[in-house]
Structure 1
Amino acid sequence: MGNNVRAMAAATPVSRDRYVDLLRVASLGTVVLGHWLMAAVSSAGIGNLLAVLPGLQVLTWGLQVMPVFFFVGGFSHALSYRSLERKAAGAPVYAAFLRGRLRRLLRPTLVFVLVWTAGALAVQAAGRGDGRLTAAALRMVTQPLWFIGIYLAMVAFTPPLLRLHRRWGWAAFGLLAGAAAAVDVLRFALGVPYAEFLNFAFVWLAVHQLGFLRADGRITRPAALAAAGLAGAVLLVAYGPYPLSMVGMPGEKVSNMAPPTLALLCHGMWLVGAVQLLAGPARRLLARPRVWRGVVAANGIAMTAFLWHLTAMLAVYAAQISLGLRLPEPASAAWWAQVPVRLLLAAALTGLLVAVFRRFEAPAATPPALGSRPRSGPRAAAGTVLSLLGVLGLSMTGLGGLFEGHTATLVALPVTAPAAIAMALGGWCLVERSAPARSVRLRG
């Protein structure tokens, strides 16, 4: 692995924006660290440290960095799609674009889901799935998959929204932001049922659209963007129906995350502006070979580490319980004293899991094939939609109650974990079947 990373780092084109790679790794790493810190595990179950210490919720204004990941996704998707268009010389590229982006994302995700499903079935068949900690673990281990479902939607919408961006630029972002604001009016002022779920699209696609603007070098005043976003978020939280926390909190009637709100979009704007302001110093740091090799290595395993980090954390607590060690009350002095040890153990276990499963994240050896298989674009699009619905559904159902037919509500429809898994696998098959019977060599 070391020699491969050195070779990849040495072969990096001068034109590559290394800062984007750093942002991708840093955002996922921050999310992982946040999850490890927020887990307040006790003999009563798994809670949230931010609920135990509400004063810490203000920290989410700096640590809720998922908008940065989606912003980086918009940048990468714009470059990838345009590159395919240039190489295709007029051939359809939508199906190839979807396959190329989904392979590296869905394959490790489905492996994670299948491994955990097998474990959940074994635990529940043995009659041991109803303990407080076990039940909580089966419920929460799939929750972070929501972001993968949203990311799949961004991939699917990239071509039409990129065309909108080419024509309207900043106005396209304004259109999506205005739609997000209108949804919140329908939700909070008029009480229109289910309207809030539209903001899963409008809010995150607006952040994604900022990535298009960065790809064209059109974020020329990042300080103004950051100031506007921060001011908007402060005003909305201070005077509107929005909570302080930028992550979901147990028992809250309103969450800024699920569904996302206009306040979260403003939060995303200030984060994007802030990271843009740091681009210059970061690029100078990334010019150092050793630093860049570290970023290259981390990018190769980031998704695998994200998928398995909660498994590692839960394993640490399970080991503590099985050894008869006392679980201190969350936020107590003893709890804080154990934090460094828990983090080190969780990181070590995550490293072991990455070593086992990282091969499923490896990029394809050949570029996505272009070709003329009939209806390849609609087939790939249908597969992507089915996959994202399955992944989102599984993030809501968890893996508990598999034998009892436990359901959760996906927008307005009930869904079970087996049905969600079947949708994700079926969507993956459809996307793969959109490939041409024989590859067509890319030009250029």
Structure 2
Amino acid sequence: MGSSVRELAGATPVTRDRYIDLLRVVSLGTVVLGHWLMAAVTTGGVDNLLAVVPGLQPLTWLLQIMPVFFFVGGFSHALSYRSLLRRRPEGSTDPVYAAFLRARLQRLLRPTMVFVLVWGAAALVLQLLGSGGGLTGVTLRLVTQPLWFIGVYLAMVAFTPALLGLHDRYGWGAFAALASAAVAVDVLRFAAGVPYVEFLNFAFVWLAVHQLGFLRADGRIARPALLAGAGLTAAVALVALGPYPLSMVGMPGEKISNMAPPTLALLCHGLWLVGAVELLRARGARLVARPRVRATVVAANGVAMTAFLWHLTAMLGVYGAMLALGVPLPDPATGAWWAQAPVRICAAVALTALLVSVFRTFERPAPAVPSRGAGGAGALSALGVTLALLGVLGLSMVGYAGLLEGRTALLIAVHISAPAAVAMALGGWLLVERAGR
């Protein structure tokens, strides 16, 4: 394994932006560590450390780093789609959109569908055996929640060709249009009280951050200090003077969340993060140029999605083992809890590594298949990615608890069950695979 990673790192073209690879790994790693720290399991249930100790909520302005991942995604999607366009023979009718979706989603949807099917089967067996309560029930509800990120990312991939076309024509104007739409949504939401309009910002906020990745790909973020300063100043002002909460992650029971649905404050938070990582670009590039660091980043990128999918399973598995062995679970944020935290995290790292070793093969890209230029492939791919993102988002909301009781959750005005969500996601993935071939 070590030699193959070194060979892969050495084979990486010198033109590749290794700093982008580093940002991808660091952003996902920060999310995983944040989840491990925030979820505090006790015999009475699961608490959120940030709710128990509100004074820690300012840390979310550093640890809520998901905007950086979506920014990196925009950069990568722009390069990938343009590469496909350049390689297409002149006059060809090959379905570039279908090929683009398949290429970008292979390492995303394949490990996701394995995760969904494995946990679905386990949930059904556990509940048939009458083991759906206690920590098991909490686990069945929580393990699918991070899938919202997969759903949003699927939407970003799907909209890349259209939004990249707008970027090529208008540049910063395309970003400004998305940001203005996010502003309008929050005005309608908070000033005019228009119901349900806030859900539009799942698109406008995250696609605006994604659009910054296009600008980065073209070298058009010339003043990162200005971007960071303006974003941070605006975010502070919105939280201090507006209806926005301090935390940049969702808190249990709060009426307004900056995350779900995203708010203008979260967009400004994303601006300052993007500006900050661009300011660190030269230092980061020098760091990742070191052979050992580069090899580590290459290895981590190869299993990042698998680790992200299974990290909550590992954490809850550690807590389950502690309960089974009679290890006391201290109250969150007490001295005993903090003293125990390094041991829990090390155990979660070990269990995640074990799960990655089992499931990492599904993150490897499948062999390329020549395009046949089939008619309607683009439309079929669009339908597939739509079904997949709706299914994944639905499953993130409903979870696997209450399978036998027919539990549902509201997804865009429609109640959806876990089996229906799985069927949509699986069917969408198969459509994307078939059309992309």
TM-score class, shorter-chain normalisation, is over 0.9
Secondary structure in 2 aligned to 1:249?
coil
Which of 332, 341, 344 aligns to 1:342? It is 344
Alignment correspondent of 1:143: 145
- What is the identity percentage for the equivalent residue pairs of Structure 1 and Structure 2? 72
Alignment correspondent of 1:120: 123
CA distance in structure 1 between the aligned counterparts of 2:424 and 2:335, rounded to whole angstroms: 46
Alignment correspondent of 1:81: 81
**Structure-to-structure mapping, 1:284-363, within 5 angstroms:** 284-363=286-365
Secondary structure in 2 aligned to 1:301?
helix
> Does the 8 Å contact 2:101/2:436 carry over to 1?
no
Letter in 1 for 2:305: M
Instruction: Deviation per CA, 1:220-242: give whole Å up to 9, x if none.
Output: 00000000100110011011110
CA distance in structure 1 between the aligned counterparts of 2:288 and 2:140, rounded to whole angstroms: 40
Letter in 2 for 1:188: F
Secondary structure in 1 aligned to 2:14?
coil
Alignment correspondent of 1:253: 255
CA apart distance, 1:369: 3.5
CA distance in structure 2 between the aligned counterparts of 1:211 and 1:342, rounded to whole angstroms: 36
Secondary structure in 2 aligned to 1:143?
coil
Which of 230, 233, 241 aligns to 1:231? It is 233
> Does the 8 Å contact 1:88/1:370 carry over to 2?
no
The TM-score normalised by the length of structure 1 is 0.97
CA distance in structure 2 between the aligned counterparts of 1:433 and 1:339, rounded to whole angstroms: 46
Alignment correspondent of 1:130: 133
Instruction: Deviation per CA, 1:264-315: give whole Å up to 9, x if none.
Output: 0000000000000000011111111111001000000000000000011011
* Corresponding position: 1:408 with 2:416: no
> Does the 8 Å contact 1:96/1:369 carry over to 2?
no
Secondary structure in 1 aligned to 2:146?
helix
> Does the 8 Å contact 1:387/1:428 carry over to 2?
yes
Letter in 2 for 1:202: F
* Corresponding position: 1:433 with 2:399: no
**Structure-to-structure mapping, 1:84-95, within 5 angstroms:** 84-90=84-90, 91=92, 92-95=95-98
CA distance in structure 1 between the aligned counterparts of 2:216 and 2:178, rounded to whole angstroms: 17
> Does the 8 Å contact 2:100/2:436 carry over to 1?
no
Secondary structure in 2 aligned to 1:414?
strand
Alignment correspondent of 1:441: none
Alignment correspondent of 1:45: 45
Unaligned runs of 5+ in 1: 437-444
CA apart distance, 1:89: 2.3
> Does the 8 Å contact 1:194/1:411 carry over to 2?
no
Alignment correspondent of 2:165: 163
Alignment correspondent of 1:439: none
Which of 82, 93, 101 aligns to 2:104? It is 101
Letter in 2 for 1:412: A
CA distance in structure 2 between the aligned counterparts of 1:432 and 1:59, rounded to whole angstroms: 40
CA distance in structure 2 between the aligned counterparts of 1:423 and 1:364, rounded to whole angstroms: 22
CA distance in structure 2 between the aligned counterparts of 1:265 and 1:245, rounded to whole angstroms: 13
Which of 199, 217, 220 aligns to 2:219? It is 217
Which of 193, 196, 199 aligns to 1:194? It is 196
CA distance in structure 2 between the aligned counterparts of 1:407 and 1:286, rounded to whole angstroms: 46
Instruction: Deviation per CA, 1:333-382: give whole Å up to 9, x if none.
Output: 1100000000100000000000000000012232x643311100000010
> Does the 8 Å contact 2:189/2:197 carry over to 1?
yes
Instruction: Deviation per CA, 1:14-39: give whole Å up to 9, x if none.
Output: 10000000000000000000000001
Alignment correspondent of 1:274: 276
Secondary structure in 1 aligned to 2:51?
helix
Secondary structure in 1 aligned to 2:409?
strand
Unaligned runs of 5+ in 2: none
Instruction: Deviation per CA, 1:197-225: give whole Å up to 9, x if none.
Output: 10000000000000000000000000000
Report the number of matched residues: 434
More displaced 10-residue stretch of structure 1: 164-173 or 90-99: 90-99
